[in-house]
């Protein structure tokens, strides 16, 4: 077990920075209309989640790059480029055969793989993700792309046929939706962004892509692979302040799809800016406050292990994280004691340190929010239960376990998205159930128990409150073939390797009366391979 941690110890781990080569990405261009356009205006500085000690014994975030501070004119130029590429559905990309689009994506994966080391390094420096998790994020994304290609091939094979019903011959396929505005999150800047961008692209849409605020440099690196792999204007990069460019882009009414992982407030404000909301498809991953319900008869060791992983992997910065634990009153003392011991033993350090679990946080001002949550809880009767809870220095914040948390405290309802674990004890099962019914969120829940009667009751009711009920295991998104969605303010649309292909496209039919002349026309088109849509070509 780790003994009491001091602020000085947290300070000391930052000194290993001195032995590392610090990256610096000087981005003076951005990809628009198929080419890198030089930028001569002002720039935004990008600081790392990682600090370095200064001469005055202070810690300051390290400058690791700069990106163009573009504005509305450049955003509109990106829109124009996307419009040209899509050309109302008559553009090269939306009219390509699926096979051709797949070959471009395959080329892209080849280019992306060459950038693996650089991207993983940037994940560590930009958002403080551990090396192991950064590697996992990259490799999981590559697998996601390959799985997407396979899934699309299967879909295509099924569509390579005609249906004849009531004297009508039809071929049913999926078509793109149009210009897609894609905004990724900072916590999985690569994986979650690409689980939106790749299916949208492969289905024939064209993209306006706004990289996340933290995790943007790795996208500059990847934009070089994008430039080499796709026709011009198919992917265009937006920089600059979201609040200055996104609403005006939506106001044009030219955006057909909004896809983002972020807050429900931001998503709904963006949607409202579209003059014809009915024309806008939204595929959104939003807020969540997934609870764990630890029942009296739970295997306590397993529950503790899973709750630890669920609440504190990547410092609690996962949308699927367990953000509140409901523990039965009769086991709460044992649970809290053992849980706190495990939390206090978590290894803190730099992302490249072996087996590190607690790493620097990327968000500016995050500490103010976390400390506010703790102070608010304390003023209303909760306490930090673990010895090392909330010890902080630089950008390292050691996790705090708070108990007893109750209605009226920020930690009870707000999504803390960071290293604080609120615990509530309950007597009656109805208490966590009521919490979930009255919650604004409906992504997932974890139930820990062994009583099948109690578990079944919870499963049957809670599947109508959330979109995934996890039994004796933490909440999570994977495997990526499972549907990832949510109710209430937690999501719109469904993502998974298979579902995303459907989310980013629309079923479309070519139909004709079954008569001799029409059959001859169809036969000729199909036999001579004249159309990419009307085709029975089997894709291998």
Please report how close the Cβ of residue 346 comes to ligand G3H at its closest, in angstroms. Answer: 17
Q: How many CB atoms lie within 10 A of CB 305?
A: 16
Pairwise CA distance, residues 119 & 123, whole Å: 6
Q: Is 192 in the site for ligand G3H (CB under 6 A)?
A: yes
Which one, 304 or 319, has the nearer CB to ligand G3H?
319
| Among candidate residues 348, 392, 355, the one with its CA nearest the CA of residue 370 | 392
Q: Which two tokens stand for residue 42?
A: 């002002």
Which one, 30 or 144, has the nearer CB to ligand G3H?
144
Q: Is 254 in the site for ligand G3H (CB under 6 A)?
A: no
Which one, 121 or 320, has the nearer CB to ligand G3H?
320
Give, as ranges, the residues between 299 and 358 that touch ligand G3H (CB under 6 A): 318-320
CA of residue 404 relative to chain centroid, distance = 31
Judge whether 236 and 78 are in contact, CB under 8 Å.
Answer: yes
Q: Is 229 in the site for ligand G3H (CB under 6 A)?
A: no
Pairwise CA distance, residues 529 & 536, whole Å: 9
Q: Is 425 in the site for ligand G3H (CB under 6 A)?
A: no
- Of 186, 188, 335, 417, the residue at the interface with ligand G3H (CB under 6 A) is 188
For residue 487, CA distances in Å to 35, 390, 440, 462 come to 40, 32, 9, 11
Query: What is the size of the binding site for ligand G3H (CB under 6 A)?
Result: 9
Q: Is 439 in the site for ligand G3H (CB under 6 A)?
A: no
For residue 79, CA distances in Å to 11, 82, 216 come to 46, 5, 20
Residues constituting the chain: 540
Site string for ligand G3H, 478-497 (x = CB under 6 A): x-------------------
Choose the stretch contacting ligand G3H; rule: CB under 6 A; options: 300-308, 339-347, 378-386, 474-482.
Answer: 474-482
Q: Which two tokens stand for residue 306?
A: 């899973």
Pairwise CA distance, residues 398 & 214, whole Å: 21
Q: Is 477 in the site for ligand G3H (CB under 6 A)?
A: yes
Please report how close the Cβ of residue 288 comes to ligand G3H at its closest, in angstroms. Answer: 8
Q: Is 174 in the site for ligand G3H (CB under 6 A)?
A: no
Which one, 128 or 377, has the nearer CB to ligand G3H?
128
DSSP category for residue 304: H
Q: Is 186 in the site for ligand G3H (CB under 6 A)?
A: no
CA atoms in the 13 A half-sphere facing the CB of 379: 10
Which one, 386 or 474, has the nearer CB to ligand G3H?
474
Residue 392, φ and ψ in degrees, nearest 5: -145, 150
Which one, 62 or 491, has the nearer CB to ligand G3H?
491
Interaction site with ligand G3H (CB under 6 A): 187-188, 192, 318-320, 476-478
């Amino acid at each position: 077990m780790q003994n009491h941690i001091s602020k000085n110890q947290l300070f000391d781990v930052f000194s290993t920075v001195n032995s590392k080569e610090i990256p610096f990405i000087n981005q003076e261009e951005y990809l628009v209309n198929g080419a890198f356009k030089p930028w001569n205006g002002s720039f935004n500085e990008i600081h790392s989640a990682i600090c370095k000690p200064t001469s005055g014994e202070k810690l300051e975030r390290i400058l690791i790059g700069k990106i163009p501070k573009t504005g509305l004119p450049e955003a509109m130029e990106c829109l124009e480029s996307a419009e040209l590429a899509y050309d109302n559905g008559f553009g090269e990309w939306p009219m390509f055969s699926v096979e051709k689009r797949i070959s471009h994506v395959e080329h892209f994966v080849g280019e992306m793989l060459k950038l693996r080391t650089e991207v993983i390094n940037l994940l560590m420096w930009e958002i403080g993700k551990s090396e192991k998790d950064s590697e996992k994020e990259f490799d999981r994304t590559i697998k996601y792309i390959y799985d997407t290609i396979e899934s699309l091939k299967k879909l295509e094979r099924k569509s390579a046929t005609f249906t004849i019903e009531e004297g009508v011959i039809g071929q049913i396929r999926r078509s793109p939706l149009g210009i897609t505005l894609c905004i990724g999150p900072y916590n999985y800047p690569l994986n979650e962004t690409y689980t939106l961008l790749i299916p949208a692209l492969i289905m024939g849409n064209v993209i306006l892509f706004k990289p996340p605020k933290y995790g943007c440099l790795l996208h500059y690196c990847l934009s070089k692979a994008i430039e080499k792999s796709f026709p011009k204007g198919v992917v265009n990069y937006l920089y600059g302040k979201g609040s200055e460019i996104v609403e005006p882009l939506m106001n044009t009414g030219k955006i057909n799809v909004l896809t983002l992982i972020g807050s429900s407030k931001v998503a709904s404000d963006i949607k409202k800016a579209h003059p014809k909301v009915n024309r806008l498809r939204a595929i959104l991953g939003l807020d969540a406050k997934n609870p764990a319900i630890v029942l009296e008869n739970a295997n306590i060791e397993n529950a503790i292990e899973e709750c630890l992983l669920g609440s504190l992997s990547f410092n609690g910065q996962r949308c699927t994280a367990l953000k509140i634990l409901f523990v039965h009153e009769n086991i709460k003392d044992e649970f809290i004691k053992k849980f706190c011991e495990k939390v206090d033993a978590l290894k803190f350090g730099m992302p490249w340190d072996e087996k590190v679990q607690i790493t620097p946080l990327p968000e500016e001002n995050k500490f103010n929010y976390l400390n506010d949550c703790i102070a608010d809880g304390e003023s209303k009767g909760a306490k930090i239960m673990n010895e090392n809870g909330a010890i902080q220095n630089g950008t390292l914040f050691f996790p705090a376990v708070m108990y007893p948390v109750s209605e009226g405290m920020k930690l009870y309802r707000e999504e803390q998205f960071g290293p604080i674990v609120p615990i509530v004890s309950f007597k009656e099962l109805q208490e966590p159930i009521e919490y979930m019914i009255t919650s604004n969120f409906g992504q997932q829940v974890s139930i820990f128990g062994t009583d099948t009667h109690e578990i079944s009751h919870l499963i049957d009711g809670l599947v109508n409150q959330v979109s995934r009920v996890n039994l004796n295991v933490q909440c999570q998104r994977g495997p990526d073939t499972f549907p990832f969605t949510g109710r209430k303010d937690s999501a719109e649309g469904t993502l998974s390797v298979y579902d995303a292909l459907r989310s980013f496209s629309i079923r479309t039919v070519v139909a004709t009366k079954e008569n001799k002349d029409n059959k001859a026309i169809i036969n000729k088109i199909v036999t001579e391979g004249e159309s990419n849509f009307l085709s029975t070509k089997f894709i291998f």
